[in-house]
Structure 1
Amino acid sequence: MRDVQLILVVDDTPANLAVTSEALTDAGFEVAIAKDGERALKQAERNLPDLILLDVMMPGIDGFETCRRLKASPITQEIPIIFMTALSDATDKVSGFNLGAVDYITKPFQEAELLARVKTHLKLRHLSLTLEQQVTERTSELTAALQQVQQSQIQLLQSEKMATLGQLVAGVAHEINNPVNFIHGNLGHIGGYIQTLLEFIQLYQKHYPHPVPEIQAKAEDEDLEFLQEDLLKILASIKIGSDRIREIVRTLRNFSRTDEAESKTVDIHEGIDSTLTILQHRLKATPERPAIEVIKDYSNLPLVECYPGALNQVFMNILVNAIDALEDSFNKQQKTFEKFTIAIRTSVIDEQLVKIAIADNGSGIPEQVKQSIFNPFFTTKPVNQGTGMGLSISYQIITDKHKGKLECFSTSGAGAEFVIQIPIRQKVSLTF
C-alpha cells in the first residue's frame, strides 16, 4: 500500500482540473488527471488510484459510460467513484448509483465539502479492505483449524483401527498359540512312541518271519510295509506344519505391538515380515490377476530404536498401496499374464541411519499426483475406498515420531519406490 493516497481526477475542463488538483494536493494527496473517459480508463489500469473523481458531462464517452467500464473491469471495479456534476436531477443520481458510484458532488462545490467527501470514502474504503483482509485471514485460520481437526480425527480413527487390529491379531495369536503349543509339544512324544512301535513290529517280524495265515493276510491287505514308511513321512509333515503355524503366530504377535508410548530396540526385518504375513492373502494369485512376488534384499541391520507398532503401520500402508497399484495396473493394462513384484531392500547409511526401500513394478505415479501424495485427505482411489490419510500419517510417523525421512520416487509407467530413512538411535535426526 502506497504512503500517499492517489486520486484520479477526470474532467474535460482545464480550470476544473486545476482547482480540484490544487485542493487535493494541498490536502496531502497525490493527484493524477485525465481529460476524457478513454484516457481515464487507461490511466486507472496503468496506475490504480485509491479513488476517482469523475465528471459526468464529457465529450466522447461520458462519465456514466466511463463508470460502467471501470466497474466491468476486474482490475478497477473496486475503486470508489465520486461523480462531479452540475446536474441535480434525481434520475441522473440514481443512474450513477446503480452503475456503482459511491457519491455525488454538485458543481460548483466548496473545497471543504470536496475534501470531506473524499476523506470519508477513502476511510470507508480502507475500513472495507481491512475488514475483507480480516475476514480472509479469519477464514483461512478457521479452514486450517478445520483441516487440523479433520486430520486429527482421521489420525485418531486410524490409530484406533490399528490398535483394534493389533488387539484382534494378538487375541487370535494367543488363541492359536495354546493348542499349537500342545500339538507341537506332543509331536515329540508321538514320534518316540511311533518309533518304538515300529521297532517292536520289526523285532516281531525278525523272530516270527512266518506268522499265522490270518496275520499274514491282514499285513498284505493293509500293506504294512507301506504304512511303516508313510507314517514317518506323515509325522514329519505334521512337524513342518506345526512349526509353520508357530512361526505365523510369532509374526502375528510381532505385528500386534501396540506399546507406542515408548521406543524399543527391535529387529526391523521382523516388523516387515510380520506385516507381509498379515497381507499374505492379498499377495496370492486370484482369478483376476497373477500372484505378486515379494523380493527381499535384506542387509545385516543392527537393532533399531523405534516405535515398532507405529513403524509396522507405515509398512502396512506402503505395502497396501503397492498391492493396490499393481492390481490397478493389471486391470488397466488388461494383460493375461504379467510378473508383478514388490522389492524390499534394507541397508545402513553412515552407521547412523537405516534405509528401507519398498518398490513395485506397477504403472507408476504421475508427477502431478506425486506432488500431493503426502497431503492429508489426498487420494486417487474411488469414493469409500480410501481416506487419503494413509501416506500422510505414515509421513508424520517417520518425520515427526522417528525424526526420519519418507520420500517417493516414481516415473509414470515405471513403478514407484518409497524410501524410509530413520536413525538407528533416536538422538540422531535428519536434515531436510
Structure 2
Amino acid sequence: MIAVPISKTIHILLVDDNPNNLKVLSEAIQRCGWKALMATDGESAIEQTAYAHPDLILLDVMMAGIDGFETCRRLKTNPITQNIPVIFMTALSDSTDKVTGLEIGAVDYITKPFQQEEVIARLKLHLKISHLTRTLEERVQERTAELTQSLHQLQQTQLQMIQSEKMSTLGQLVAGIGHEINNPVGFVSGNLSYIEEYVNNLLRLVSLQQQKLTQPDSEIQELVEEMDLEYLTEDLPKLLASMHQGITRLKDISLSLRTFTRADISSPVEFQIHEGIDSTLMLLKHRLKGNSDRTKIQVITQYGELPPISCYPGQLNQVFMNIIANAIDAFDELHENHSAQEIAAYPNIITITTSFAPQQQTVTICIQDNGPGMVPDVQSRIFEQSFTTKPVGRGTGLGLAISHQIIVEKHNGQVNCLSMPSQGTKFIITLPNVTK
C-alpha cells in the first residue's frame, strides 16, 4: 500500500457555518499532523480553495447562502479545483440527497452527528486514494511524454535516413529503422511492467479495504456499484495483456526488418527488371486471388525488350512490392464501399508495361490500376514520410517515401504518379541504363 508522503503537509479545508463543528474537526485534524483550513460559507470556501488548493475538502451541505451542493458544483466546474476530493457532511438521511452529492462529484458522505474516529479514517482513506491516483497519472504522463519524444526522434531519424544521399544501401536504412524501433519498444516494454504493478497494487488496496470493513458502508457500496468495480477489476488485466501483445508484435516487426536487411545486396549488379517484377508478383500471388469480399485481380504484363541495368535488385523489388500492394489495397477498399452487382461489372486490373528508350538510355516501368484513384490533395502527398490514408493498423506511411528515395537517390531515376478519382492510378518509374 502506498502511503501519503509525510514530507508534504496535508491541508484539509473545513467548510461549516457551525463554529463548534469547525473547532472539533480542526482539533482532530491537527492531532493527525495535518493543517486545517476553515471557511464558514460556500463563497469563501470556493475562493480559498482556488488559492490554497487543499488536499481534501470537508463540506457541510446545509449552509446559509449557497449550499454545499452548489459549492461542490462550482468547484468541479473550475479546472483549478475540480480534482480536489470533496466529502459532504450532512444530517440528511435521504438517500436521494446522497446520490445527488455523488453525481456532482463528491467522493463520500459523513453523516452528523459524526464520530471523530470515523471522520479521520475516512479522511485517511481518501487521501491515500487521491495520492495513488495522482501518482499513477503523473507516471503515465511522464511515460507518455518520454514515448512521444522517442517517437519524434525516431521519425526525424527515419526522415534523415530516407533523404540522405550518403546512404549506400536500403539495407542500411532498414537496419537503422529497426534499431531505432527497438529503443522505444524496449522503453515501453520495460515500463509496462511497472504500470501493471501499480494497477495491481491499487486493486489490492481496494480489495483489502473492502475486506477490512466489518460493516459495509452504504455510500461506499453505492459508489462501488456505480463504477462497476467487479467489471473494472476483471477488465484491467485484459487491457494490460493486450498491450503486451502489441509490444510483442512490434518486436516481431523489428526482427523482420533485420532479416530483410541481411537479404539485400550491398553493391549494384546487372539485373533484368522483368525478373524482379515477376518475383514480386509471385510473392503477392495470394493477395491477387479472389476471396469472399473481392473478385480476382487480373495482372496484365506488357514487357518490352529491356537490357540488363546496373542497380540494387532488392531495393527495386521493394519499390515494385509497395506500389502493387497499394493497388491491391485500393481494390479492397473499393469493394468495401460498393455492391456485389457493381463489383461484378467492374473487373480489377493491374497493367504493368516496360519499355527501353535507346536514345535516352533509360528504362521505363509503368504500373497502372483501374481502382478508385486519388483526389489531388492526396496525390500531392503520397511520397511524404508517414502520410497514409489507410486505417490504423493497415499502413505505416513509409512505403512510398522509401520507394521515392530508392528510385531518385539510389538510382538517379524518376518516379511520378498520375491519378484521378474513379479513373485509377499510374506510377511511372524511369531508370537510367548505366550498364557498361
With normalisation by structure 1, the TM-score equals 0.42
* Larger Rg belongs to: 1
Higher relative contact order (CA 8 A, sep 6+): 2
With normalisation by structure 2, the TM-score equals 0.41
